[in-house]
């Protein structure tokens, strides 16, 4: 029986809020754009940087591998907010994504347009954003997503139930041990309480070997080569599908070029395909190819973040709670205003990254959260967000909508 690597990469950039102060609120409604190019929050600068370091070289490499190995396949998800930014500031990069999709061997996974946590706050808003994303993907890539992933891989039974009803054939989640128990993530599963949908669970150990540990010289397995990695897979006898899920920026941005990450990617298909029966599949192909082995029950929400695998990196402190509730409390009035610019700003503020920047959990250790934040500290992130929130209230008031 064949065994497949299911490589799934997630592409996303938020619209970061500029240094938006209480003096801007009520005067100028531009939260995301007018900042000096060199500013830490400059979305344009960050798009250029990430495109240069990650998207362009990775896409070139992937395209090369797709041409060289007919069995090579992968899946990607790409948010509406990053597509828009590429359209504005790096059309060449967007074209390189289109080139991948045009090979017919790269599948696009569905999600919310704005990379939001709307599923947990407003079901109707969530469905609107999923529909917006589907439409955007159809327009830009000419494809319709058949498999769903929620923001930050935040998953529970309710989400699976929704995705099943919405007609998706598959859904992605973290293969977290407390949920799987003794079971392996390397199979196809069925979510509890659903009829047709299938569940693919991230093998976080193997995924994190690449995404997090690859350049860590204190790691006992450093340096990781494609040869060694595929040897581990070949030695793993339970399982049909190795679900390697990670951020796209793993290649070139989280793991820099000089770590050898592109070399690893370059040799991965070559090494894996050496063994007869080994192949690559997209998420849909895996779901079609393998029968589900069991039901998986996830009554509470599991994400792919941090050691807790919960939503605490986004909603764990009082600032995050206050900010997100304040935002969603405006929902009906903002939608009711029919002001398209206001509605779009509201949606851009829903992007989960804004709440992530407010995380204080590990601020003191100067760890990963700090690295990815364009703010000096979580408090400044909160202040800019709340000032934008106050401005939205001002805009509603201006329209005669009482808040």
Partner 1 sequence: MLGWELPPYNSGGLGVACYQLCKALSKKNIDIEFVLPYNHDHPIDFMKVTAAHPQDVKAIKMSGIAYDSYKYIFADGHEEYLSLTEQQSLYERAVAQLVKYGKYDVIHAHDWLTFRAALRARQITRAPLIVHIHSVERDRAGGNDGNPYVREIESIGLLMADKIIAVSEHTKRCIMRDYDIPGDKIEVIHNSIDSEGLEPLDEHNAYQYLSAMKQQGHKVVVSIGRLTMQKNLPNLLRAAKEVIARAPKTLFLIVGSGEQYFELIEQAAELGISRNVIFTGFQRGKNWRDAYAIGDVFVMPSISEPFGLTPLEAISYGTPVVISKQSGVSEVIKNCLKVDFWDVNELANQITAIVMNDSLRDELHDNSYHEFVNLSWDNSAHKLANIYRRHYAEAAA
CB of 309 to partner 1, least distance (A): 23
- Between residues 56 and 326, which has the closer beta carbon with respect to partner 1? 326
Q: Does 377 bind partner 1 (CB under 8 A)?
A: yes
| Minimum gap (Å) between residue 375 Cβ and partner 1 | 11
CB of 374 to partner 1, least distance (A): 16
Smallest separation, CB 43 to partner 1 (Å): 21
CB under 8 A: which stretch of 27-35, 177-185, 257-265, 370-378 binds partner 1? 370-378
Cα separation, 110 vs 305, whole angstroms: 20
Q: Residue 244, exposed/middle/buried by CB under 10 A (0-12, 13-18, 19+)?
A: buried
Q: Which stretch binds partner 1 (CB under 8 A): 138-146, 149-157, 330-338, 377-385?
A: 377-385
- Nearer Cβ to partner 1 (141/357): 357
Q: Is 375 in the site for partner 1 (CB under 8 A)?
A: no
Whichever of 35 and 268 has its CB closer to partner 1, that residue is 35
Peptide bond into 223 cis (omega under 30): yes
| Among 221, 332, 367, 376, contact with partner 1 (rule: CB under 8 A) | 376
B/e letters for 11-24, b = 16+ CB within 10 Å, e = fewer, are bbbbbbbbbbeeeb
Scanning residues 21 to 80, which ones bind partner 1 (CB under 8 A)? Answer: 21-23
User: Least distance in Å: CB of 23 to partner 1?
Assistant: 6
Q: Of 70, 49, 46, 58, whose CA–CA distance to 10 is shortest?
A: 58
C-beta closer to partner 1: residue 259 or 317: 317
| Annotated catalytic residue within 152, 174, 249, 285 | 152
Among residues 216 and 360, whose Cβ is nearest to partner 1? 360
| 127 counts as catalytic | no
Number of shown-chain residues binding partner 1 (CB under 8 A):
20
Query: Are the beta carbons of 328 and 114 closer than 8 angstroms?
Result: no
Query: CA-CA distance, 189 to 195, in Å (whole number)?
Result: 12
Give how far the C-alpha of residue 259 lies from the chain's centroid of Cα atoms, to the nearest Å: 23
Question: Cα(54)–Cα(149) distance, rounded to whole angstroms?
Answer: 22
Cβ proximity to partner 1: between 31 and 262 the closer is: 31
One of 89, 121, 212, 363 touching partner 1 (CB under 8 A): 363
Task: Among 382, 388, 395, 396, indicate the residue that binds partner 1 (CB under 8 A).
Answer: 382
Question: How far is it between the farthest Cα atoms of the chain?
Answer: 69
Nearest CB to partner 1, comparing residues 157 and 360: 360
Place of tokens 């807790």: 308
Shortest distance in whole angstroms from residue 354 CB to partner 1: 15
Q: Of the ranges 306-314, 331-339, 348-356, 381-389, which one interacts with partner 1 (CB under 8 A)?
A: 381-389
Q: Which stretch binds partner 1 (CB under 8 A): 95-103, 247-255, 261-269, 360-368?
A: 360-368
Piece of 18-26, 41-49, 65-73, 284-292 that binds partner 1 (CB under 8 A): 18-26
Output the smallest distance, CB 344 to partner 1, in A.
25
In sequence order, the 6+-apart residues with CB closer than 8 A to the CB of 82 are: 11, 12, 13
Q: Which of 93/387 has CB closer to partner 1?
A: 387
Structure tokens at 5: 């690597």
For residue 366, is it left (φ>0), alpha (ψ between -120 and 50) or beta?
left
Task: Tell me: does residue 360 bind partner 1 (CB under 8 A).
Answer: yes
What is the closest distance, in whole angstroms, from the C-beta atom of residue 297 to partner 1 in the complex? Answer: 34
Q: Are strands 295-296 and 241-247 parallel, antiparallel or unpaired?
A: unpaired
Among positions 305-324, residues that touch partner 1 (CB under 8 A) are 317-319, 321-322
Footprint of partner 1 (CB under 8 A): 21-23, 317-319, 321-322, 360, 363-364, 376-380, 382-383, 386-387
> Which residues belong to the active site?
152
């Amino acid at each position: 029986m064949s065994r497949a690597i299911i490589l799934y990469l997630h592409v996303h950039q938020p619209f970061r809020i500029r240094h938006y102060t209480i003096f801007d609120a009520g005067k100028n409604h531009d939260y995301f754009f007018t900042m000096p190019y060199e500013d830490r929050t400059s979305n344009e600068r960050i798009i250029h940087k990430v495109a240069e370091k990650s998207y362009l070289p990775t896409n070139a490499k992937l395209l090369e591998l797709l041409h060289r190995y007919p069995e090579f396949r992968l899946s990607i998800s790409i948010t509406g907010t990053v597509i828009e930014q590429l359209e504005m500031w790096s059309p060449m990069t967007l074209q390189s994504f289109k080139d991948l999709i045009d090979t017919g061997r790269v599948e696009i996974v569905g999600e919310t347009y704005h990379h939001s946590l709307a599923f947990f706050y407003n079901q109707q808003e969530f469905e609107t954003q999923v529909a917006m994303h589907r439409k955007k993907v159809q327009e830009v890539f000419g494809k319709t997503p058949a498999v769903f992933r929620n923001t930050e891989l935040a998953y529970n039974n309710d989400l699976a139930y929704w995705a099943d009803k919405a007609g998706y054939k598959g859904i992605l989640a973290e293969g977290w041990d407390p949920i799987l128990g003794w079971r392996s993530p390397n199979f196809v599963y069925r979510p509890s309480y659903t009829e047709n949908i299938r569940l693919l669970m991230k093998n976080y150990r193997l995924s994190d070997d690449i995404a997090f540990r690859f350049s860590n010289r204190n790691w006992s397995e450093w340096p990781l080569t494609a040869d060694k990695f595929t040897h581990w897979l070949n030695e793993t006898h339970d399982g049909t599908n190795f679900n390697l899920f990670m951020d796209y920026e793993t290649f070139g941005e989280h793991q820099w070029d000089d770590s050898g990450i592109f070399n690893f990617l370059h040799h991965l298909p070559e090494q894996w395909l050496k063994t007869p029966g080994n192949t690559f599949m997209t998420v849909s192909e895996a779901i079609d190819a393998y029968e589900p082995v069991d039901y998986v029950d996830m009554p509470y929400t599991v994400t792919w973040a941090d050691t807790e695998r919960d939503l605490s990196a986004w909603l764990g402190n009082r600032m995050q709670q206050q900010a997100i509730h304040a935002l969603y409390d405006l929902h009906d009035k903002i939608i009711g205003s029919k002001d398209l610019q206001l509605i779009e700003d509201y949606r851009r503020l829903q992007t989960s990254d804004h709440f992530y920047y407010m995380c204080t959990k590990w601020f003191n250790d100067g760890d990963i959260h700090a690295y990815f934040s364009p703010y000096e500290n979580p408090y400044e992130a909160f202040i800019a967000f709340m000032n934008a929130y106050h401005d939205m209230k001002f805009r509603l008031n201006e329209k005669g909508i009482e808040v």
